[in-house]
Chains A and B, each alone.
Chain A
Amino acid sequence: MDLSAINPLLFVAGFLVAATPLIFAAIGELVAEKSGVLNLGVEGMMITGAICGFATAVETGSPLLGFAAAAAGGAALSLLFAFLTQVTLANQVASGLALTLFGLGLSALLGQGYVGVKPPRLGDIDFGPLADIPVIGPILFTHDIILYLGIALVAGVWVLLRFTRAGLILRAVGESHNAAHALGYKVRRIRTLAIVFGGACAGLGGAYISLIRVPQWTEGMTAGVGWIALALVVFASWKPWRLLLGAYLFGGITQLQLNLQGAGVAIPVEYLAMSPYLITILVLVILSADKSAAPASLGRNFHASG
């Protein structure tokens, strides 16, 4: 056993990267859930974003265009979910699961020609002297722009929900769609926008995996990150900053587990891998004292005459 082999700076920088796909997917789902929509199709939208981004980046040679395409792809798929749940009033749980099934299949079809291809790399931002600051430099200033975009998005959503009228309306719709409707808000239109935002974010998260974190395309490569994102939203009790913290915790546990193994510490891997989920449950129990955490209309469909 040699714990000194673990470099804390690299460890932290590592889990910042590992957490980024989670942050994107989860912040999008957070907005959707705040509007009262539970979309279990995150995994399907992520993997669709992963292939749309990958294919576009390879064809155009531009990773940034790839990310744009990924957001578009995720959003397009989420429109399907929006149509099902907002127009035809189908059950959200079932529609979300169907969306994941569909997305996994669709992405595999789209990706048939991209196995084994190397995508263009997106370089890290050059912060110049900032990167040389001890401790903080290597942790904070050695990443690509998308990672910072993820953090900025969290801040943006926080501002939106907390300080803007749009955020207020979004929350009102999520708390009580009937009351919001009575006040004259267009419940379904607002929810559709929230769903599409969630889809675009999930798409970005997927592309972060296929273009930066791995980077390659293989079928099913998101390997369950979308489901973890769902857990993360709850873990964060629908609060953007807690979501960021949670993403680092979730990402950090995997990194820590691998680091400890590398250092020769005999750990029961399966039991450590369970721990984020068990911690989430624990957090849920603790949070239950705070009844206001979950949007009251979460998962319920709205029909004006109903």
Chain B
Amino acid sequence: MIRFEKRPQPSRALSLATPLLAVLATMIFGGLLFMALGKDPVTSIVTIFWEPLFGEFAFYYRPQLLIKGAPLVLIAIGLSLGFKAGIWNIGAEGQYIIGAIFGAGAGLAFYPAEGWFIFPLMILAGAFGGWIWAMIPGFLKVRFGTNEILVSLMLVYVAEQFLASMSLGLLKNPEGFGFPGSRNLQQYEPAHNAELLAGSGMHWGVVAALIAVIFAYVLLTKHRLGFAIRVTGEAPRAARFSGVSPARLILFCMGLSGLLAGLAGMFEVSGPAGQITIDFNVGYGFTAIIVAFLGRLHPIGILLAGGLMALTYIGGDIAQSNLGLPAAAIQVFQGMLLFFLLAFDILTNYRLRRQHTAETA
């Protein structure tokens, strides 16, 4: 009988090695899947993992990794703080949507005026939108003790309906011949979140994501609040003595994660996406939850996990186009990757032990 035994300390070496092991296992099983679909497994894997980074057109894909990865990292950083403290905001998708609507709305309110203040105002509006949307479950939890997982999830659907209403109504482009969707902010200079250096993929959202990573790192290692977050997650009873009230902690974690998700939505709508449409949200809020866990709730880990997810998206699209792999196969492949990453994680905290008695948990 083999069983897991908890390590006194998480293994450092393995925490670095397990993600690599997981990627390797995914490559093997993914390769088998691609082979079953009649594709060359090696070419498929190379296309997904190698092509975007070092292939012929890497000069284009590398910046795209930033564009795809930034919202994931930005949202995941916010979520990870709450997750560490046992506060489960899984409604980032909704906060992302509301942030985008508020941000775009603030910008479009001034159309076609010029002014340096418009973009900063949009940032504030986007952050506020995400923050307020997350404060609803936060406040309800503090005041009534309602479960924040469920309230935040419910609010995603409310936000999606609100998005449809906005794209067809208030924010609809008056010059869009009746089609749904707002004006394109890329064509409204003062509201455009343009690349800071053309062709680099660096826009303000990427900058914000990097700042968030550093901020979270400093907060968690150097600040009293970060200490309170860690203690609350590990030993809720002891947390009372850390000097931060649980209610304050909940409001802080929910608010911050909503704020960052709102920012991500705002930077997306004013930059890469350009406009509010019915299908504006593409699931970043949910994917970010996975990214947060893949990154082990550690700021640097999240940065890497966000990059890895972005890589499989971009590589997956290339594989579809170049090799004719169906989108569904890429989805299954991503699912496998997540499974392996999650499953192998146990080796970091537990060790395998052979056991002679039949007693198991």
* Distance of A234 Cα from B293 Cα, bound (Å): 24
Decide if B5 touches A234 in the complex (CB within 8 Å): no
For B294, the chain A residues whose CB sits under 8 A away are: 94
For B327, the chain A residues whose CB sits under 8 A away are: 105, 108
* Distance of A245 Cα from B274 Cα, bound (Å): 43
Give the contact stretch, choosing among B40-48, B194-202, B336-344. B336-344
- Map CB proximity to A onto B141-178 as digits: 1 under 8 Å, 0 otherwise: 00011110111011101100110110000000000000
For B140, the chain A residues whose CB sits under 8 A away are: 281, 284-285, 288
Q: Count contacts on B: residues with CB < 8 A to the other chain.
A: 51
Q: Which residue of A has the minimal Cβ distance to B334?
A: A101
- Map CB proximity to A onto B314-339 as digits: 1 under 8 Å, 0 otherwise: 00000000000011111111111011
* Distance of A172 Cα from B287 Cα, bound (Å): 33
For A306, the chain B residues whose CB sits under 8 A away are: 6
B224 to chain A, nearest CB (A): 27
Give the contact stretch, choosing among A9-17, A68-76, A259-267, A268-276. A268-276
Contact of B162 among A274, A294, A302 (CB under 8 A): A274
B134 within 8 A of A: no
* Distance of A15 Cα from B154 Cα, bound (Å): 22
Decide if A270 touches B161 in the complex (CB within 8 Å): yes
B3 to chain A, nearest CB (A): 8
Interface size, A (range): 35 or more
B21 to chain A, nearest CB (A): 13
A274 to chain B, nearest CB (A): 5
B293 to chain A, nearest CB (A): 4
For A34, the chain B residues whose CB sits under 8 A away are: none
* Distance of A299 Cα from B328 Cα, bound (Å): 29
Q: A80-B339, A90-B345, A305-B6 are in contact. Are A108 and B326 (CB under 8 A)?
A: yes
A212 within 8 A of B: no
Decide if B328 touches A303 in the complex (CB within 8 Å): no
> Does more than half of chain A's interface fall in helix, strand or loop, or is it mixed?
helix
A165 within 8 A of B: no
> Does more than half of chain B's interface fall in helix, strand or loop, or is it mixed?
helix
For B149, the chain A residues whose CB sits under 8 A away are: 38, 93, 299
Give the contact stretch, choosing among A59-67, A142-150, A180-188, A194-202. A180-188
B286 within 8 A of A: yes
8 Å CB contacts to A: which residues of B101-156? 140, 144-147, 149-151, 153-155
Please name 26 pairs of A and B residues whose Cβ atoms are closer than 8 Å in the assembled complex, sorted by A: A38-B149, A88-B345, A89-B350, A90-B343, A91-B293, A93-B293, A94-B294, A97-B290, A102-B338, A102-B339, A105-B327, A105-B328, A105-B329, A109-B326, A188-B361, A230-B153, A231-B150, A234-B150, A274-B157, A274-B162, A280-B150, A281-B140, A284-B140, A284-B146, A287-B146, A305-B6
Q: Given contacts A95-B342, A305-B6, could you give 16 more A-B pairs where the C-beta distance is less than 8 Å?
A: A88-B343, A91-B293, A94-B294, A97-B290, A108-B326, A108-B327, A109-B328, A187-B361, A230-B153, A271-B165, A274-B157, A277-B157, A281-B155, A284-B150, A287-B146, A291-B145
